[in-house]
Structure formats: C-alpha cells, structure tokens
Structure 1
Amino acid sequence: MLFRLWRLGEGGKMERRWAGIRLAKAGALCVALALAGCAQPPGQVFDLAGSAAITRVSATSAGGITVRPPIAVAPTSTNRIVVRDVDGSVSILPSVGWSEPLPRLLRERLIEALQRAGVAAARVSGSGRALATDIRRFEIDVARNVAVVEIYARIIDENSGAERAGQNVVGEAPAPDHTGAPAAMALTEAAGEALSRVASWARGKL
C-alpha cells in the first residue's frame, strides 16, 4: 500500500490526506472518550447539610430579601469538590462531589442561614432588595491543610441596581485529609462559618 501511494502521484496525495483524516477522527474520538470519563458523576455525594445551622436569634424579622443565585467560575461552579495544591494548581476529587451544582446548593443553604438569623429570605421576595454573592473560593487548601470558603456578598437595590453594601467573608475549617468524605465534611464546616457571617452581616444592613 505504501508503494502505491508513492507511485500514484496525485492519487497518492489524496490517499495521504485520507489517512490524515482517519487519524484526526481517531484522535477526536479518544478526546471525547476521555472527557466522557471526567463527566461521570461522583460515587458519593454531599449536600452541605448542617452548613446553615447557626444560632437562632429573635424571631423578629429584619425584613425581606431576594437571594440571587451565587456566581462562580469552573470548576467551582460545578458539582465537583475542588482541591488547590501547594503549587497553586487546581484539581477535582474523583470519587466525591456535591448533590447539585455548588451555586444552586449554596443558594438554598444561604436562604436557610438567613431565615435562621431572622431575615425573611426567599428566592423571590418582592422586597426590592436582593442579596448577590460571588463564590471566590470553595476548596481544600493543601498547603495549609484547611477548607476555605470565601464569599463576597452585596445587597442590591433591585429598582436602581445600585449596590447598597458589600462585605467579603471567609470561613475555614481544618482539613488534614484532602480526599473523600473528610474533605467534603471540612468544606461543609467552613461553609457553615461563612454563611453564618453573611447572614449576620445582612441582617445588620436591613
């Protein structure tokens, strides 16, 4: 076959192009299969249960507020648990994850934390005020052996779009084990601390 490629001249050129196309298709198939493997759901999932369990305050409501879906970038925006290594590189744990994409899950836990703090929080409140959040970090920090949750919270006037107040909060928890269920539980604890701080701050601004 190789002999015929060289003897056919123009026909040989066409045959070489076909060979290249076949190789390209094979390479694309390999990439697709690899990506499909990465997209497999985790075997063990967690839902941040307990992260909103903060100390109850007076039942008197501080006023209503709409809680918008948090903003995050990949891979934090997915349902995977993120680990930041000592060199700053980011990876995801292969066997565990969140029950839903993190922004959706964190929104529900934030609503619960606000309600426990005496704030009439909901997905839509009609109050003219909204709580917008950016998830800046939600990861296991291997260099420090801690779970870190960093959230920037803003109270927005929904009529004008103006930012009335803003606050950056951080929650941390020990994470000596960087894999599996211990990593998920450490992040749940760190999230509880961060959400508690967001709820207390928001209550004071309403």
Structure 2
Amino acid sequence: MKLTASTSTQRKATRTTALALLALIVAGCASAPRETFDLTADTGPLRSVALRAGPAVYVPEPAAVAPTSSDRIVVRAADDSVAVLPGVQWSDPLPRLFQRRLIEALRQCGLSGSSNIGAPIKLQTDVRRFEIDIARDLAVIEVSVELIDGGGRARAARIFVEETPAPDHVGSQAARALSDAAARVSLRIGQWARVAK
C-alpha cells in the first residue's frame, strides 16, 4: 500500500515537473525579443527645402486606434482584416515616432515644429492607416491633418495619403517601406503647413 502511494506520488511529481518545464519553454518562446525598427529614412528631399526661421507650430502626439497606436507593425489582408507582423516592432508606439518625423519635416520646411504646448499654431493629426497592404504590395499611410489657431479654430484641413511599393511583407523590408512612405507624407504635410499657416 505504501509502495503504491509512493509510486503514485512520484508520478504526480514527475508530471507536475514536466508541465512546469513545458510552461517555461512556452513562456520563453513567447517572450523572445522582437526585431526593432525606427522611422528612419533618407532625408535628402527634405534638405532641398530652404531653411529659415518661421512660426512656431505645436505638434501633439497624433491620434490613432489600435493596433496602429501600438509599437507593432500592422498589415492589412485582402479581406480588409488587420493583424500585426510577428517578431517585429517599432522602437516606440507608432504615434510617438510619427510625431518626431512630423516635427523634423516642419523644421526642414522652415517652421519651428515642437512637441511643447504654447505655440500659436497647432498641427493636429489623426493617423488613419499606417500599414502594409498585403493584397496590393504597398505601404499605405493615411493621415487627417488640421492646422488650428490659438483660439481653437481650424485654419486649414486636409487628408494626406502616401503609398510606397512593399513587395516584401516581413521585417526590415516592411519597416523600410513604411519609413519611406512616412518621410514622403511628412514632407508633404510640412510643405502644406508652411503655405496654409
């Protein structure tokens, strides 16, 4: 009787240990570090814009909904469903990265872009799409933009769409395509804001 209880106890202990080990292995795989990317791109086209001091423009962090508001790279399938690329991520939540890109573009376009509140003009943005469209092999960015004066009135508004070829839907290729599209759309927004202000 004692022998049977001892054998049963050993089997339970072995099973518990095996399950705990399996859980650790699964947790280790799930928490493997993701490859991380930033919105970096050649700013050659931006350098061609004449630099000069201009009005201060406050650029708050853009609005966005999940999963675009996260640090994950978003893909859209042919059935219009969205998902995130496995094993990769942005270095910060996407709105924060795009905010920095916009500030850089405004400065290159001769405006004093800043993330500090208090400027007489606000560049309010809403990132509607920032993703790889798998069906069309494109990096797609759609941003709604408003220039708002100190009294809270919209001075100008526009929707910008930028599409860049993205034949590869993985890792660095997807991130690079989105970075290129971000650089182009930011430049267009900066040029528009310089005229519309």
TM-score (norm 1): 0.77
Letter in 1 for 2:48: R
Q: Which residue in 2 is equivalent to 1:195?
A: 186
Q: Which residue in 1 is equivalent to 2:155?
A: 164
Letter in 1 for 2:104: E
1:205 aligns with 2:192: no
Q: Which residue in 2 is equivalent to 1:15?
A: none
1:177 aligns with 2:129: no
Cα distance in 1 for residues equivalent to 2:158 and 2:32 = 34
- Spell out, residue by residue over 1:77-136, the C-alpha distance to the aligned partner (whole angstroms, 9 max, x if none): 000000000111111001111000001111011101110111111112633211010001
Cα distance in 2 for residues equivalent to 1:155 and 1:56 = 24
Q: Which residue in 2 is equivalent to 1:29?
A: none
Structure 1 spans left out of the alignment, 5+ residues:
1-32
Give runs of aligned pairs for residues 41-120 of structure 1, distance below 5 A: 43-50=34-41, 54-120=46-112
4+ long deviations beyond 6 Å: none
Please tell me whether the aligned partners of residues 41 and 176 of structure 2 are also in contact (alpha carbons under 8 angstroms): no
Q: Secondary structure at the match of 1:203?
A: helix
Q: Secondary structure at the match of 1:114?
A: helix
Q: Residues 43 and 182 from structure 1, CA distance in 2 versus in 1: closer, same or farther, beyond 3 angstroms?
A: same
Cα distance in 2 for residues equivalent to 1:169 and 1:48 = 18
Q: Which residue in 1 is equivalent to 2:127?
A: 135
Aligned CA RMSD, in angstroms, stands at: 2.0
Cα distance in 1 for residues equivalent to 2:32 and 2:153 = 39
Q: Residues 42 and 133 from structure 1, CA distance in 2 versus in 1: closer, same or farther, beyond 3 angstroms?
A: farther
Letter in 2 for 1:151: V
Q: Secondary structure at the match of 2:161?
A: strand
Structure 2 spans left out of the alignment, 5+ residues:
1-25
Letter in 1 for 2:125: T
Q: Residues 125 and 117 from structure 1, CA distance in 2 versus in 1: closer, same or farther, beyond 3 angstroms?
A: farther
Q: CA deviation at 1:142?
A: 1.0
Letter in 2 for 1:189: D
Cα distance in 1 for residues equivalent to 2:113 and 2:138 = 30
Q: Secondary structure at the match of 1:62?
A: coil
Q: Percent identity?
A: 46
Cα distance in 2 for residues equivalent to 1:104 and 1:44 = 18
Please tell me whether the aligned partners of residues 42 and 94 of structure 1 are also in contact (alpha carbons under 8 angstroms): no
Q: Which residue in 2 is equivalent to 1:5?
A: none
Letter in 1 for 2:187: S
Letter in 1 for 2:161: V
Cα distance in 1 for residues equivalent to 2:42 and 2:124 = 19
Q: CA deviation at 1:193?
A: 1.1
1:151 aligns with 2:143: yes
Q: Residues 41 and 130 from structure 1, CA distance in 2 versus in 1: closer, same or farther, beyond 3 angstroms?
A: farther
